[in-house]
Amino acid sequence: QMSRVIVLVDMDCFYAQVEQRDKPSLWGKPVGVLQYSANGQSGLIAVSYEARPFGVKRGMTANQCKELCPDIEICLVPQGEYADKADIQKYRDASAEVFAVLGSIDSRIILEKASVDEAFLDCTAYVESRVTKVREETIQRLLDPACLPTSFIVDGKEDEKDEDETEDEEETVDEEARLKRKNERIEMIRKRKIEEFIEKCRFDDEFLKIALAAEFAERLREKVREKTQFYCSAGVGNNKTMAKLVCAAHKPRKQSFIPPGSEVDVLRNTKVSSVRGLGGKLGRSLTERLGINTMGELYRTPSSVLTATFPDNAPWLMQIARGEDYDKVDSRVLQRNLGVGKNFPGTMAIYTNMNAKFWLNGLTKELRKRMADDKIKHRRLAQKVVVHVTTDVSTSKSVKVGATEEKEGRLFEKLWPVMQSMRKGPGEGWKPPIFNISLSAGRFLEGLPSKENSIIGWVERRTKQLEEMEGKDAVEKLNRDAAAEEKRRLEREEMGEEEGEGEEMEGIFMVDNLDDDDDDDCLIVE
DNA sequence: ATTATAGCGCA
DNA sequence: TGCGCTATA
Ligand SMILES: Nc1ncnc2c1ncn2[C@H]1C[C@H](O)[C@@H](COP(=O)(O)OP(=O)(O)OP(=O)(O)O)O1
Ligand SMILES: [Mg+2]
Ligand SMILES: [Mg+2]
């Protein structure tokens, strides 16, 4: 089949950049983002590039990283409102800003949200439409050094000759000058390789399509930077696996692409564990059972051996080793489910009925807030909530269905019995002890009942105004304010009795009236 | 390390 | 469809 052109965009030290933007004095400084949990368990979940040369790594405690990098600035992940837990909403909001840019460029591009900070883009249709343009003009444009200013070719021949540091013959006293000359040489090699690549584009459309996607990615990244202040990196390849792999080759603030046909060379010395899908048990068992450490070794393993050892995975493994991957870019920017959860490790485990109820209650409130946000923002309602309880040995899980629509206010009453059904022990105690509770809402039904439309309509009009006047941040806040109001409405409903439709409508009318008060952002006037 | 998501195979 | 399990950020 026709070859595809895939781009993977991944934000650089994403949460750290969010904190740097929040507090601009942190730009250019070593920054770590620390996730607390009052358990005393806490670790870094993001580390700025300035801190990485010190050896600071994700997972380290504040003390550990202070030892390696005394000047590191530690930022804390916000805490939840209802439960003593981390709340990463601010990073989701920042992610939404980035995706607004990614989705606004060209309607022919298929966009898949792969995580809070990365996206796959299928640019095939877009580049196909540009391959047909006058070739010489395109080539001249691409040859301009300003066209691919942060691009690197990755062909698997990197450590052949002068590419890496061949130490200077002469003894230099001036460390700075030495470094400068080294960088100049790296930049020279970079430019030469790009030129070689572009020259191939004259007669080879496969090369040209990659180059056009790289040009596109340069512009896209610049636009992300303009609109959000965040830097990112990108990888370009013929499939998701290669795009993702090559993105990591040059980071931060850079992008990389593979000359068509060099995939196997790029993979040759790649550790299996760094390939998407092989970072876990499968990759480990490749090493343990067949002694395979690199993708080159996997490539050379006879298919009979692979089939005998991994019958289910052998076909996929052989494709991936050849640099082939037929996984499609799935046009999807919204999450399929949303959840909250908390660990209770070791001695923090939950042993009592009361404690179980306490945490389920807090987590339910956090979930309900998320559901209210999602409802306003995406106009959809979760049809299913899953309660997951991890105990001693077996991780038990149970689900709960039921039209959650409009019943969010009674969520806890619904979930508590589900949770109790997982209790084995009688009386006050809870057996077996619980090490994790997580809740997740999903199976969304698109669209809202028409009775919802008043508040939605208000948000829509207000969104337009704010976008013009104040930008994306204000819009995110507006959505949350509206969700908060929605939540309060549900709480009133929960409190009490039948609760008149009148009061409800009144709240919304008041909101409606606010429309003309153009300087008032507040939704609630009670 | 902790807290999120997504997707697969099986019954 | 529910559940356990795997993989990833
Ligand atoms: N294991 C984890 N647990 C919790 N949060 C995580 C974990 N891994 C990553 N995150 C969060 C914080 C990261 O800033 C964000 C994006 O992850 P990721 O892209 O892997 O790293 P990064 O963006 O911090 O650095 P890089 O520049 O290497 O991409 O997701
Ligand atoms: Mg990243
Ligand atoms: Mg990432």
Mutational pocket test of ligand 1: of A14, A41, A228, A276, the residue with most ligand atoms within 8 Å of the beta carbon:
A14
Question: Is the ipTM reported for this complex over the cut 0.90?
Answer: yes
The half-sphere exposure of A286 on its side-chain side, counting CA atoms within 13 A, is 26
Q: Which of A156, A101, A152, A110 is nearest to A327 (CA)?
A: A110
Distance, CA of A97 to C1' of B8, in Å = 31
What is the number of other CB atoms lying within 10 angstroms of the CB of residue A107?
Answer: 9
What are the helix (H) ranges across A248-325?
Answer: 263-268, 281-290, 295-300, 303-309, 314-321
pLDDT at site A167: 54
pLDDT at site A248: 98
Spacing, Cα A450 to ligand 1 middle (Å): 40
Which residue minimizes the CA distance to atom 3 of ligand 1? A45
- Give the helix/strand (H/E) hosting A346: none
Protein residue with the closest CA to the C1' atom of nucleotide B8: A312
- C-alpha A378/C-alpha A374 separation (Å) is 6
Q: What is the pTM of this model?
A: 0.91
Spacing, Cα A57 to ligand 3 middle (Å): 15
- Would you say the CB of residue A215 lies under 6 angstroms from ligand 1? no
- C-alpha A143/C-alpha A150 separation (Å) is 13
Instruction: Look up residue A26 and give its two tokens.
Output: 């942190």
User: pLDDT, tens digit, for every residue of A188-200?
Assistant: 999 999 999 999 9
The half-sphere exposure of A249 on its side-chain side, counting CA atoms within 13 A, is 28
CA distances from A411 to A150, A388, A441 (A): 50, 15, 11
What is the number of other CB atoms lying within 10 angstroms of the CB of residue A323?
Answer: 23
CA distances from A143 to A136, A150, A223 (A): 11, 13, 21
Instruction: Look up residue A505 and give its two tokens.
Output: 């409508």
- Ligand at minimal distance from the CA of A14 is 1
- C-alpha A481/C-alpha A465 separation (Å) is 15
pLDDT at site A395: 82
- C-alpha A139/C-alpha A131 separation (Å) is 11
String of DSSP letters for A128-176: HHHHTS-HHHHHHHHHSTTTSTTEEE--S-TTSSTTS----SS--S-HH
User: pLDDT, tens digit, for every residue of A170-192?
Assistant: 565 788 999 999 999 999 999 99
Spacing, Cα A484 to ligand 2 middle (Å): 30
- Residue A151 gets the label, from left (phi > 0), alpha (psi -120 to 50) or beta, of beta
Please return the burial class of A147, using the count of CB atoms within 10 Å of its CB with bins 0-12, 13-18 and 19+: middle
Protein residue with the closest CA to the C1' atom of nucleotide B1: A59
The half-sphere exposure of A415 on its side-chain side, counting CA atoms within 13 A, is 31
pLDDT at site A480: 78
User: pLDDT, tens digit, for every residue of A399-446?
Assistant: 877 666 566 678 999 999 999 999 998 899 999 999 999 999 999 999
- C-alpha A44/C-alpha A56 separation (Å) is 9
- C-alpha A151/C-alpha A381 separation (Å) is 43
Please report where in the chains the tokens 């370009």 appear, as a residue. A236
A43 nearest nt, CA–C1': B1
Dihedral of CA A446/A449/A455/A456: which sign? positive
A47: which strand partners? A32
Q: Which of A35, A80, A77, A37 is nearest to A58 (CA)?
A: A35
- Would you say the CB of residue A11 lies under 6 angstroms from ligand 1? yes
- Would you say the CB of residue A10 lies under 6 angstroms from ligand 1? yes
User: pLDDT, tens digit, for every residue of A327-342?
Assistant: 999 999 999 999 999 9
pLDDT at site A128: 98
pLDDT at site A45: 98
- C-alpha A492/C-alpha A499 separation (Å) is 8
What is the number of other CB atoms lying within 10 angstroms of the CB of residue A526?
Answer: 8
Instruction: Look up residue A28 and give its two tokens.
Output: 């250019």
Q: Which domains does chain A carry? A: 6-11+91-157+193-261 (3.30.70.270), 14-81 (3.40.1170.60), 268-321 (1.10.150.20), 338-450 (3.30.1490.100), 452-515 (no CATH)
The answer to whether residues A142 and A201 touch, using CB atoms and an 8 Å cutoff, is: yes
- Would you say the CB of residue A116 lies under 6 angstroms from ligand 1? yes
- Segments of chain A with pLDDT less than 70: 161-172, 402-408, 452-458, 464-465, 467-472, 487-526
Ligand 1 atom nearest A59 alpha carbon: 1
Protein residue with the closest CA to the C1' atom of nucleotide B6: A336
pLDDT at site A308: 98
pLDDT at site A501: 33
Show Cβ contacts of residue A332 under 8 Å, excluding neighbours closer than 6 positions: A111, A112, A113
Instruction: Look up residue A88 and give its two tokens.
Output: 């990463």
